[in-house]
Amino acid sequence: MPEDAARNEAPEKEKEEGRELTEQEASRKLTGTFGRKKLAYTARAATQVFEVDGKKVSYFYVDYVADGADPAERPILFCFNGGPGSSTVWLNLGLFGPKRMQFDDEGFKVGMQGRLVDNPYSILDVCDVVCIDAMGTGLSRAGKEEDQKAFYHFRKDIEAFAAFIVRYLNRNGRWASPKYLAGESYGTLRAAGLARELFDRYDVEFNGIMLISAVLNYQTVKSDYAWKLFPPGNDLPYMLYLPTYAATAWYHERLPKKLQDRKLADFLEEVEEFAMGEYWTALAKGDNLPHKERQRVLKRYAAYTGLSEEYVDFYDLRVNILRFCKELLRDRKRTVGRIDSRFTGIDRVPAGDGIESDPSLDATGGVAASALNHFLRVELGFDTEEIYEIMSAEVLQNWDYEDFKNQYVDTSEALREVMSRSPGTKVWVANGYYDLATPYFATEYTFSHMGLDPEVRPNVTMEYYEAGHMMYIHLESLRRMAGHLRDFVKATS
């Protein structure tokens, strides 16, 4: 057989047979100070191999467990990011882990290579943490390619996460531990569905559910189950995004002086009233909106957002996210970020309706890749030739919302069910004022329309931070967030 043919045959055979999945583990015993408390703990990077619906999978995780603690008394937190297609590097090395990615105090990049620094704001003093990577992200893989793609699916993803968590509880003797879930972005949507799956199928109850940059109902942020933004027919996102447009304009000093000089929270209270009142009424009237009323709304919208009246008029009072990100600083030839609108970017040309890339993701992705790979491969000694997928476009592009055909993706009802059937479960929600991916006003709207019984409504706590989607990269927000999380665990465990 010719040498080239032999080389070509090997990958085909490997593809047919699939990769061999074996469990792997690397750990180190460490000490750190968290919440001013010195703690001895074990950091472990590992894979858990199991079967779901006859498909063999390997889920990668990193956990941090206090040495010598009583599992029955020690709380445990399971956390994950979203995307779909994002690994859990962000919550691991941004918020919950004992090490964090280095940014300056405002959350902006320091140098080219991502560095790790101690994270005294980690809540490891009050609970153990398990960071789980979704299938196709991080180092989570299936034995066969077709099996792996089967988990790029709303329902299958939840079933696999539930199976992982139950097996983790079994293997590590943690059934008696106070239990918590934490998700970020799409991970909040997953967390709501996962909490119901675990309650229904395995009788697992959670003391607390932490939702960071929440999105539970896609009607508030997009059109349907696909990744489409603000098409005709759904005016709701225009109203719900307006306060975040205003916060962004305030941050970049694009407002009239009388508005620019106000404190952010006070200013946003006025914008919220306008958005829910006069602006929402104008949108509802559509083409029947009287000219004088339209002009009044147009002037206020432009003043609050830093956009020109001409531009707002051109788009019929409806400016979508990407147009806003492109237009706000167009005269400076700069764009603003969607994940964190404090960040600015440079496009090839200032013309056009959309940004070439998200500058907030551009400024954090490389930091995450360097820091994570150094942490796993050097500090923990996890030996693998596999590439750690920080963000997987393949997962995102192939994600299947089959369960929501012809309707909006929505797990707010799943969360309502859990909170109603397990009324001891508390929910804590973190919002960033400069988050244009999951705006805080949309989160408030979702929770106020869940139909929660008055008895369980007090079980929801909302917090707000002057940062973006990953508010914990901003040092002051991280400090405040850590205090809020620590108090939440103490109060509920």
Q: Which residue has the higher pLDDT, 365 or 129?
A: 129
pLDDT 10s digits, 418-461: 999 999 999 999 999 999 999 999 999 999 999 999 999 999 99
pLDDT 10s digits, 270-286: 999 999 999 999 999 99
User: Which range (17-26, 241-250, 479-488) has the least confidence?
Assistant: 17-26
Give the integer Cα–Cα distance in Å for 493 and 484: 14
From the CB of residue 309, how many other CB atoms can be counted at a distance below 10 Å?
13
152 Cβ contact list (under 8 Å, min separation 6): 84, 135, 136, 394, 395, 398, 399, 400
- Cβ burial of 366 (10 Å; 0-12, 13-18, 19+) is middle
Q: Residue 3 pLDDT more than 80?
A: no
- Name the one residue in this structure whose structure tokens are 């990615």: 101
pLDDT 10s digits, 34-91: 999 999 999 999 999 999 988 999 999 999 999 999 999 999 999 999 999 999 999 9
Q: Residue 7 pLDDT more than 80?
A: no
Provide the percentage of residues in the chain whose pLDDT is more than 90: 85
Query: Is residue 279 a contact partner of residue 301, using CB atoms and an 8 Å limit?
Result: yes
Report residue 111's pLDDT band, with 50, 70 and 90 as the boundaries: confident
Give the integer Cα–Cα distance in Å for 132 and 47: 10
Q: Residue 406 pLDDT more than 90?
A: no
Structural domains for the chain = 21-221+365-492 (3.40.50.1820), 243-357 (no CATH)
- Range 316-343 average pLDDT: 95
Nearest to 182 by CA among 476, 410, 482: 482
Strand partners of residue 391: 86
pLDDT 10s digits, 331-355: 999 999 999 999 999 999 999 888 9
Q: Residue 6 pLDDT more than 50?
A: no
Nearest to 58 by CA among 67, 50, 69, 66: 50
Report residue 124's pLDDT band, with 50, 70 and 90 as the boundaries: very high
- Name the one residue in this structure whose structure tokens are 């942020």: 221
From the CB of residue 281, how many other CB atoms can be counted at a distance below 10 Å?
13
Give residue 273's pLDDT: 98
Q: Residue 12 pLDDT more than 90?
A: no
Q: Residue 381 pLDDT more than 60?
A: yes
Q: What is the DSSP string of 442-456?
A: HHHHHHHTS---TTT
Give the integer Cα–Cα distance in Å for 479 and 485: 10
Give the integer Cα–Cα distance in Å for 374 and 280: 49
Helices 236-251 + 264-274 axis angle, to 10:
150
Give residue 17's pLDDT: 64
Give residue 228's pLDDT: 54
The conformational region for residue 456 under phi > 0 = left, psi -120 to 50 = alpha, else beta, is alpha
Give residue 238's pLDDT: 95
Q: Residue 16 pLDDT more than 60?
A: no
Q: Which residue has the higher pLDDT, 230 or 167?
A: 167
Give residue 2's pLDDT: 46
Query: Is residue 104 a contact partner of residue 110, using CB atoms and an 8 Å limit?
Result: yes
Give residue 112's pLDDT: 78
